[in-house]
A and B are shown apart, each in its own frame.
Chain A
Amino acid sequence: MSLQIFVPQDTTALALGAEKVASALIQGAQKLGLDIEITRNGSRGMFWLEPLMEVETETGRIGFGPVNTANVESILSVLNSDSVETKAMEHPLYLGEVSDIEYLSKQQRLTFKRSGIADPTCIESYQHQEGFSGLAKALTMTGQDIVDELKNSGLRGRGGAAFPAGIKWQTVLDTPGEQKYIVCNADEGDSGTFADRLLMESDPYQLIEGMTIAGLAVGANQGYIYLRSEYPVAHKILNLTIERAIKAGFLGANVCDSGKDFFLEVRLGAGAYICGEETSLLESLEGKRGMVRAKPPLPAIEGLFGKPTVVNNVLTLGAVASILEQGSDTYKNFGMGRSRGTLAVQLAGNVKRGGLIELAFGVTLREVVDNFGQGTFSGRPIRAIQMGGPLGAFLPESQWDTPLDYEAFAAIKAMIGHGGIVVFDDTVDMAAQARFAMEFCVIESCGKCTPCRIGSTRGVEVIDRIVANEDRDNNLILLHDLCDTMELGSLCAMGGMTPFPVRSALTYFEEDFGISSRRDH
């Protein structure tokens, strides 16, 4: 039998040269007369080890990483020897059994349990790993039973606002309508986040399954995945897997011979951050400018094309499949307080070991950054951490003992959001970061409210004046006033929360604005 080798096909592995590694392996093996078979798996999410190549041995799957084409020859000679296991240990890139790598074994993987194991586009592999068993259960239940199961799990939306998913679904179920929709928010615009992308690229059938279950629960026969155009790899994989799921009878007309239909389509965004906001997203799906709608009406009542619509994040819908499969009690036993289940932490930026870390809520930010990240990529001290995307606060070391819990973060005027953690070392200029937060709001504002559209432009100018020491005291007062106006007078969190990164930079890192020298006496 040929030797089974795995080389990931996710965006980050590809961006680090996985394609070249795969071709070098094929060529090198040919030269050696070594019989290999390469599976293009998804990524395990240990991005600092990518391209992470795995080999099936008698004792388990061993890994080498990060591999580049220059290492291929020496790895192949290990694989070509009589005692692969012993020879492997001598190789500098040898990682041991992949599932034993602490970064992975210390996680609680529910949503990402299949990520990186098999070819994500192979429907049989998905089924071998309990795939579609949540759907099978859902097909035996009433819509209300499914919604009750979701409510019992305590699952809250993973897109940022953390709204209880079961309550949203109940509203859609209870709203009468011939036509209802399931919309998956795959706009993942926050810097420092890639969990949606990883799920779509490494376990896409789970999302397809979750959306189909949602359709059964609320009585919707049409779904859309609104995917950001910045994700070409995910786009390709989703289209392929949707096609395969239809062929296999899990999607489309008469799902699993149940007599019920669920059609699914991917729609591409067009490079607008605000289209991640659910009502802007719906406008965009309707073919319009992505202008935010006032709520009410809730999308659950008047959503896409005015019909009752479930809008959920990729991870929320992914979790649905595993909740149905394993039972809501299992899911809710993870976590703390009102934050139940697991959080897909995404460790990014200037960090030595960045990647996807799925953990039960409750661990502290410091534990994640220290134990998993192990310091900065540059080797310099960490100075600031931005959690929750571009609208999240910058946190100094004094705040890093906050547990990952929605309420605990809200209490320090920060947010968990979609779970992204961006690490900055001590070379960061926090005044420049505050300026960027305002600039980003200028670029991405939908333009509906004046405080957001004009206020952010003024914000950039005022920060420039503060840094240039032009009438600094008055401009500081002005900046705080401006932040108040934006917080109070904006329709959505774009304008309403841009002040969070700005104010936190001012509060915790005032010396970068040239302020502390004035108070040093």
Chain B
Amino acid sequence: MLDINSNVDQLIEQYKTLPGGLLPLLHAVKEAVGYVPESAVAPIAKGLNLSRAEVHGVISFYHDFNTHPVGRHTVQICRAEACQSMGSRDIEAHAKQSLGIDYGETTTDGLVTLEPVYCLGNCACSPSVRINDDIHARVDRSRFDELMEELSHASPDAFGVNS
């Protein structure tokens, strides 16, 4: 916890004079810590001269800013229309069932957090799934299983943009 807080303090220093800096700061906190911890709210509010309610309000408005720790990999299933037309409802059901979790939850081994997403700009080759910063096209049940299998063997930092 101690190093989370000093991390956050450093980031606040870095972003506090940036015009409209709250979103970039929250992204940076998420990047560094993995989520936006409750303990970050008060120092952020102080650093940016906002009320805690304002900071809370912003965090809760945006889907990206989760306030609880997440798994080592974030898996997002596209739920939007183009992906629906290619069977994403089935992938969605399969993902929840095979991982044994619902959206917003993390597998018990801490490997995967499952989230919905609404369009990844890959709508000509749907259904789309994003794993960390990699997007995957034409994902069916067996491709999804393959991707999950790869995750269970990969080291957490082995994933860059489609490496």
- A440 touching B20 by the CB < 8 A rule? no
Given the interface pairs A229-B64, A268-B27, A377-B86, the reply to whether A48 lies near B58 with Cβ below 8 Å is no
A194 with B58, Cβ < 8 A, contacts A232-B161, A267-B23, A270-B63 known: no
How far, in whole Å, are A123 and B62 apart by their CA atoms in the complex? 35
B86/A47 in contact, CB under 8 A:
no
Name the B residues within 8 Å of A433 (CB-CB): 81, 84
B120: Cβ under 8 A from any A Cβ: yes
The residue in B27, B57, B81, B135 that gathers the most chain A C-beta atoms within 10 A of its C-beta is B81
For the complex, would chain A's binding face be called helix, strand, loop or mixed by DSSP majority? mixed
State whether A191 touches B118 (Cβ < 8 A). yes
User: A331 an interface residue at 8 Å Cβ cutoff?
Assistant: no
Does B130 contact A272, Cβ atoms closer than 8 Å? no
Report yes or no: A267 in contact with B24, Cβ–Cβ below 8 A.
Answer: yes
Q: Which residues of A contact B64 (CB under 8 A)?
A: 229, 269-271
- Distance from B86 Cβ to chain A, minimum over Cβ atoms (Å): 6
| Number of interface residues, chain B, beta carbon within 8 A | 45
Q: Does A35 contact B (CB under 8 A)?
A: no
CB contacts (< 8 Å) of A355 on chain B: these are 124
Give the residues in chain A near B130, CB-CB below 8 Å: 230
* Residues A354 and B125 in contact, CB atoms below 8 Å apart: yes
CA A87 to CA B81, docked complex, whole Å: 42
Which of B61, B121, B136, B138 is the one whose CB lies under 8 Å from A194?
B121
- Write out the residue numbers on chain B whose beta carbons fall within 8 Å of the beta carbon of A422: 81-82, 85, 123
Do the beta carbons of B161 and A289 come within 8 Å of each other?
A: no
Contact A270-B27, Cβ < 8 Å, known A19-B162, A48-B124: yes
Residues of chain B in range 76-98 having any CB-CB distance to chain A below 8 Å: 80-86
- Does any Cβ of A come within 8 Å of B111's Cβ? no
Contact B123 A289 (CB under 8 A): no
Given A271-B62, A433-B81, A15:B20 Cβ within 8 A: no
Known A-B contacts A15-B162, A270-B64; the reply to A347 vs B121 at CB < 8 A is no
Residue A192 CB within 8 A of the other chain:
yes
- Say yes or no: B137 contacts A189, CB within 8 Å: no
B20–A349 touching, CB < 8 Å: no
The closest CB in chain A to the CB of B115 belongs to: A271
* New A-B pairs, 19, CB < 8 Å, besides A14-B162, A349-B123, A423-B85: A14-B134, A15-B125, A50-B125, A189-B119, A191-B80, A191-B81, A191-B118, A193-B121, A230-B121, A232-B135, A234-B121, A271-B64, A287-B21, A348-B126, A349-B81, A349-B126, A355-B124, A377-B86, A422-B82
Q: Which residues of B contact A (CB under 8 A)?
A: 19-24, 26-27, 48, 54, 57-58, 61-65, 80-86, 117-126, 128, 130, 133-138, 161-163
